[in-house]
Amino acid sequence: MTADTGSPALQPSHDGAITARSVTATIESSVGSAVEIAAAGLVIAEIAILFGGVISRYVFDRPLVWSDELASTLFLWLAMLGAVIAFHRDEHMRMTACVGMLPGPARALLDSLATGASLAFLLLIAWPAFQYASDELPITTSALQITDAWRAAALPAGIGLMIVFALSRLTRAASAKAIILSRGLIALVVALFWLGAPLFHRLGNLNLLIFFVGVVAAAVFAGVPIASLSAWRYSVTLPWRPTPR
């Protein structure tokens, strides 16, 4: 005789969850590889453009007037794609010494919290980045005579890719409970700081002490990427408002 080790009713949903995670991981890996190839191509292009600019200026005394402008545009794209690659590889600077000493469930919760905090930061700056790129559409570059939106589009493109990777990572988290708790905690903290922004403004420079000593210290020890801590800075004292050009 053999013992029944699982409920047949639950088996299809379990298999479906595994399949969904596998598909998500495959898509994430493919997009990550494409971003890495694009970044490598930009590095080669940057080297060629800058080297050609130097040679034309100092050897042939016929400078390429468009080389610096094109190089600066490609460099912004390279910086954003580099941030995307670091996010995909989970290589953004963070302190994991304390997290590594915790038991499995607590570590899973803090890992989910770190990803959720990064996602909150990205969502906070996504719309302003898109508006900035849109505002650059009527502006024409002096040398290349193209819209400056080609340069500014690197910001929303990079942010969008990191949002995709953050969502993908959360769907592959080991514990649904960790995802729910971390999202709830992040939403609560951001909402409290956002609603309390007038109070923090009245506190003046004291809110810097609250942010750097309280929020930053707790987040760093929890393993949140240091770059993501800007999210709390936005929500505490600098809630974004559209600025007329």
- The model's pLDDT over 52-99, given as tens digits with 9 standing for 90+, comes to 888 988 888 788 888 888 888 999 999 999 989 988 887 777 777 777
Res 20: pLDDT: 64
- Number of Cβ atoms within 10 Å of the Cβ of 180: 11
Summarised one tens digit per residue, pLDDT across range 188-198 is 877 887 787 77
153 or 174: whose pLDDT is higher? 153
Average pLDDT of span 166-170: 83
Residues near 198 by beta carbon (within 8 Å), at least 6 away in sequence: none
In the chain, % of residues over pLDDT 90: 18
| Residue indicated by tokens 């400078």 | 63
SS3 of residue 177 by DSSP: helix
Averaged pLDDT of the chain: 77
Could you tell me the pTM of the whole model?
0.75
* DSSP code, position 211: I
Is residue 142's pLDDT more than 60?
A: yes
Quote the DSSP letter at residue 93: -
241 compared with 223, residue with greater pLDDT: 223
Lookup result for tokens 């809110």: 207
d(CA 100, CA 170): 19
What DSSP character marks residue 9?
T
